[in-house]
Amino acid sequence: MSNAPVLILLGPPGAGKGTQARMLEEDFGLVQLSTGDMLRAAVAAGTEAGRRAKSVMEAGQLVSDEIVLAILKDRMTQPDMARGIILDGFPRTDGQAAALDALLAANGQKVTAAVSLEVDDEAMVGRVSGRFTCGSCGEGYHDEFKQPAQAGTCDKCGGTAFKRRADDNAETVRERLKAYHAQTAPLIAYYEGKGVLARIDAMGPIAEVRQALSSIVGQVAA
């Protein structure tokens, strides 16, 4: 049995899940679990799961529940999970949500809160197309909305190498938005039915969204 909070960030690609999850790590000492990051690491490492996921990710579709759950379950056995977690990009299907419930129940836990970041699809194409990250520490940036204080140098770690994701192009983003609406958006009603859903307007600047999210998370993870 653990009282550690389990938070879920829901929202389409570009909604700000990763950006806000990293801030919640700083503000509340929680651990970010991004299945997208885990899958990209598996692709880069050339594991069996990574080889199977690669073309699916490039096409902007969802990787099978089987692969995603195997990767996530493995990560959830690590001791730092006791600090509480922020799930970023998971669950994305009914099957993943049910599997998460079962996984948590086995440990006497349940989802503490699911926060839906509400945004306009069209704005997400611009957000995702302008995204880049520090190659050393993974800090996220944007060509227009979040530039490093000193051009070419990461604010967090001083790194000077940045990278862009292969799937962050306008065409693939539209596929990912379709997958979101068909397979993931229904989870908003699922968590609403469980009485753990909060919705926030995530169209405003990063600092405003951070404030709105902090006031929700502060009630369950202070």
The interface partner of residue 63, options being ligand AMP, ligand ADP, none and the CB cut-off 5 to 8 Å by kind, is ligand AMP
Residue 92 or 109: the one with the smaller Cβ distance to ligand ADP is: 92
Residue from 7, 19, 31, 200 touching ligand ADP (CB under 6 A): that is 19
Does 131 help bind ligand AMP (rule: CB under 6 A)? Answer: no
CB of 190 to ligand ADP, least distance (A): 19
Residue 92 annotated as catalytic? yes
* Angle, helices 35-45/65-76, rounded to nearest 10 degrees: 100
CA distance 209 to 68: 28
Structure letter (DSSP) for residue 1: -
Structure letter (DSSP) for residue 133: E
Residue 17 annotated as catalytic? yes
115, 32 contact by CB (below 8 A) = no
Does 13 help bind ligand ADP (rule: CB under 6 A)? Answer: yes
Residue 75 or 165: the one with the smaller Cβ distance to ligand ADP is: 165
Residue 83 annotated as catalytic? no
Chain center to CA of 174? 18
159, 137 contact by CB (below 8 A) = yes
Find all residues with CB under 8 Å of 59, minimum gap 6, and list them: 172, 175
Does 39 help bind ligand AMP (rule: CB under 6 A)? Answer: yes
CA distance 39 to 177: 19
Residue 199 annotated as catalytic? no
Does 146 help bind ligand ADP (rule: CB under 6 A)? Answer: yes
Does 205 help bind ligand ADP (rule: CB under 6 A)? Answer: yes
Which residue numbers are catalytic? 17, 92, 131, 164, 176
